[in-house]
Amino acid sequence: MKKPISITAISSLSALGSEPEKIWEVYKTNNHYLQQRKAANGGSWVAALPKESQELVKNLRLEDDYLDLDNSVIFALLVSRNAVKNANWKSEVNFGVNFGSSRGATTLFEKYHQTYLEKGTSETLSSPTTTLGNISSWVAQDLKSKGPDISHSITCSTGLHSLLNGVAWLQSGMSDKFLIGASEAALTPFTIAQMKALRVYSKEKDLFPCKALDLSKRQNTMVLGEGAVAVCLENEISGKTIALISGIGYATEKLEHSASISAEANCFQDSMKMALQNHDASDVDVIITHTPGTIQGDLSEIKAIEKVFGDNLPAITTNKWKLGHTFATSGLLSLEMAILMLQKQEFIPVPYLEKQKRPSKIQNILVNAVGFGGNAVSVLVSLPN
């Protein structure tokens, strides 16, 4: 990176709620926020929005033109409004928007497809309301931005790829402010059935259904969640700066299978090394892993971390045991967790792991994300000087 990028606001919506102080208090508890959703196949663990957040979604839908939008768009609108307000950005200014989603308008797409199967015709708005560009376009229109708006999907690393794009625009000099984010509303029967078909979905019945980072588990324990995150990025480091992006890395590896990752996660090794190219590995105090709760995915990432850091491993943690795997949004929810730990100077451990290393200080946190296709992203986030 040419220079650090300023984060001036972050707003989220997830199973932990939407209020930063409440989210922090929830992180400090040892309770997970996963729910058992009953279904014909016996039920599935999910990390759904709490009732108060569902009310926010419901109220926004009542506004003009928003009744027909998918939840993925509504989530993005809610967090974007909050982030821009907190960053004190004015409307109708030249800031860019890049929102991504792994699956996009999941609920509407499945609804419209079912209608087509039953009637042989498609509903009038099925195309505009399910196209991927729908998310960023609505965010930009809602905020009256005059800058570029971009949508993309790079599976589970989509959110951190939004951040990469924002950094690139800022460092190119083509923009001074960029709103980046990700939104995922994929808690649908078909999506969960797809994950079960991959044999990665949790069947656990004990206290922690998702055992992300637990390398002793004998079965896959991934649980799906929903939510959105918006982040305000600026070139200028000022009194509004809440954290700095001080390193970015990315990599793609050749895969043997479309849903696999190499035994030592070569893509993560490369992305972490790139993010740290202007830093010593010893500068990293904490790593927030992608670790989705699968046997192979968790083990591969830890092996990659051991390869990069050797005997000087930082403290390692994750939040998926608490809020599930939110696909595109997962990396940015980890970024939010990193910022909270930097601000509070307190490490959030994983309660079911024994002898977990604790950092003596928290100055720099590395956040990882990877998706199907072996496209890894690593972001180093730091305290402002």
pLDDT of amino acid 132: 77
pLDDT above 90 coverage of the chain, percent: 80
**In sequence order, which residues have a C-beta less than 8 Å from that of residue 198 and are 6 or more positions away?**
259
pTM, to two decimals: 0.96
Could you report the per-residue pLDDT of 293-334, keeping only the tens digit for each? 999 999 999 999 999 999 999 999 999 999 999 999 999 999
Angle at 368 between CA 54 and CA 204, to 5 degrees: 60
Strand spans (E) along the chain: 5-13, 35-37, 44-47, 96-100, 149-152, 177-184, 224-225, 227-234, 243-252, 286-288, 315-317, 364-369, 375-382
By three-state DSSP, how is residue 364 classified? strand
Common-topology check for domains 5-234 and 244-382: yes
Could you report the per-residue pLDDT of 20-32, keeping only the tens digit for each? 999 999 999 998 8
Give helix 266-275 / helix 295-309 axis angle, nearest 10°.
Answer: 40
Amino acid at 52: E
Enumerate the domain spans of the chain.
5-234, 244-382
The second-level CATH assignment, the architecture, of 5-234 is 3-Layer(aba) Sandwich (3.40)
- Is the pLDDT reported for residue 40 higher than 50? no
Q: Over range 225-236, report the average pLDDT.
A: 97
- Is the pLDDT reported for residue 349 higher than 80? yes
* CATH of region 244-382, choose from 3.10.20.30, 3.40.50.150, 3.90.105.10, 3.40.47.10: 3.40.47.10
DSSP 327: G
Least confident span in 11-15, 111-115, 198-202, 291-295: 111-115
